[in-house]
Structure 1
Amino acid sequence: MKDDRKSALYLAITEAVMEEIKANQIEVVQEESLLRVPVSISARHVHLEKVHADILFGKEYEFQKHRDISQPGQYACVEQVTIVGPKSSIERVRIVAPLRRQTQVEVSRTDAIKLGIQPPVRHSGDVAGSAPITIIGPKGKIHLKEGCIIADRHIHMSPADANTFGVANHQKVQVEVDGEKAGVMGNVTIRVSERYALDMHIDTDDANAFAIKGTEYLTLIK
């Protein structure tokens, strides 16, 4: 009888311990998942204001969707342009719609070296004092005295996402990358808006440096 009671007691203890381990493992997995964000690779592209769209493609031209991108309402267009710097040019650069209040060209550092320009690392929309560049379309061309930037690393979040992650608009965080070329990316800007869907944006240079394909989930480090 004693042996039977001991066996039953050991079994009860083991089951209790296993339940506790299982519960803790589930909690840890959930906690880690809350800190992970999807990542997208943003290749060189152009945002156009209405007057420049008219010059490059013709009056009241309607852009055709190539594919949706991660942020609601935005899409890469079928239409492409050529961007020109002092040293060289790059063809087949996609337009991203819808139209904006100000024309902006986003390139990587590698692109900038090829073009012979020195664009600053900036938030999207912050083009004052940025690099000059020429854009050539099928109907005409424009020369921007400023407007070319290298986009900063950033994570789009809704207010609910920001609350979940415990971060604030414009806060700088780090993001950890796993895999064959693991590492940590610093100076990642949090951007919060009701219009945003959760997604981290990096350029092609960062993607190549960390061997990121754009299908991964990366870990946010506050």
Structure 2
Amino acid sequence: MQEQLVQEITRLVIAQLDNTKVIESEYMVPIGISARHVHLTREHIDILFGKDYQLNKKKVLMGGQYAAQECVTLVGTKLRAIENVRILGPERKVSQVEVSQTDAIRLGIKAPIRESGNIKGSAPIAMVGPLGAVYLDEGCIVAKRHIHMSPEDAKQFGVVDNQIVNVKVGNGRGGIFEGVQIRVDQSFTLEMHIDTDEANGLGVGKEGRILIK
């Protein structure tokens, strides 16, 4: 009983210090473990795979995105490389590479933690395909942990787009993910995205009961 009281007081103190909203209900939220992947422009697809090459869909994802069958090799400093890195479609206006911190260390680069699309001043990286190679002066990041939600989900949780929350994970080893960004769009389905490092750190599987704090 005393231990439960201490835990509850600790929770309330953390919530007060973080100035975040506490939601008392728990929900089953699918957890998507995001492995390393790349987004490519039309120009870079042409260089890597040939002019007017069309990516082939392997798996449909939320928000009109899909995992392509095609992969590339990432090359960092001192020619350190990671092979078979999945391409996500459709084409983008700017190419971007998303890796974990472990991947960044392996590649010998310093990739900043950023929201997807925010690549200004990020790490340089090279990509090699079957027909060519592309060097990005900037474009490699470690994706900031986030939760995709529809407007209806956001209303149920009592959160808004771009709000930063803490998330308690009750499965695996258990723990709290801080600084989780809420991303709301009508095309999104409810899913929290973390990378392989984060998932391994807390023993997280593909689905878990979480509490947004």
**TM bucket by the smaller chain?**
0.7 to 0.9
Aligned to 2:187: 195
Give the TM-score normalised by the residue count of structure 2.
Answer: 0.85
> Which of 162, 167, 172 lines up with 1:170 in the alignment?
162
Moved over 3 A (4+): none
1:149 and 2:141 correspond: yes
Return the offset for 1:68.
2.1
Alpha-carbon distance in structure 2 between the residues aligned to 1:110 and 1:218: 26
Return the offset for 1:194.
1.5
Question: Which secondary structure does the structure 1 equivalent of 2:63 belong to?
Answer: coil
1:218 and 2:209 correspond: yes
Aligned to 1:46: 38
Any stretches of 5+ residues in structure 2 without a counterpart? 1-23
Aligned to 2:73: 82
Deviation string, structure 1 residues 77-130 (Cα, Å, up to 9, x no partner): 110000000141000001001111110000000000000000100000000000
Alpha-carbon distance in structure 1 between the residues aligned to 2:209 and 2:135: 38
Alpha-carbon distance in structure 1 between the residues aligned to 2:189 and 2:172: 28
**Kept after mapping to 1: 8 A contact 2:171/2:208:** no
Alpha-carbon distance in structure 1 between the residues aligned to 2:149 and 2:179: 16
Aligned to 2:174: 182
Matches within 5 A, 1:8-47: 32-33=25-26, 35-47=27-39
Question: Which secondary structure does the structure 1 equivalent of 2:125 belong to?
Answer: strand
Question: Which secondary structure does the structure 2 equivalent of 1:110 belong to?
Answer: helix
Any stretches of 5+ residues in structure 1 without a counterpart? 1-30
**Percent sequence identity over matched residues?**
53
Return the offset for 1:135.
0.4
**Kept after mapping to 1: 8 A contact 2:163/2:182:** yes
Alpha-carbon distance in structure 1 between the residues aligned to 2:82 and 2:43: 22
Aligned to 2:87: 95
Instruction: Let me know the Cα RMSD of the aligned residues.
Output: 1.3
Question: Which secondary structure does the structure 2 equivalent of 1:142 belong to?
Answer: strand
**Kept after mapping to 2: 8 A contact 1:36/1:220:** no
**Kept after mapping to 2: 8 A contact 1:37/1:220:** no
CA gap of 1:156–1:180, structure 2 versus 1, over 3 A, is: closer
Pairs aligned (count): 189
Letter in 2 for 1:73: G
Return the offset for 1:218.
3.2
Return the offset for 1:210.
1.0
Return the offset for 1:164.
0.8
Aligned to 1:11: none
> Which of 59, 74, 77 lines up with 1:67 in the alignment?
59
**Kept after mapping to 2: 8 A contact 1:133/1:144:** yes
Alpha-carbon distance in structure 2 between the residues aligned to 1:98 and 1:113: 28
Letter in 1 for 2:89: A
**Kept after mapping to 1: 8 A contact 2:172/2:204:** no
Question: Which secondary structure does the structure 2 equivalent of 1:72 belong to?
Answer: helix
Question: Which secondary structure does the structure 2 equivalent of 1:212 belong to?
Answer: coil
Deviation string, structure 1 residues 157-204 (Cα, Å, up to 9, x no partner): 111111111001111111111234111111000011112111110000
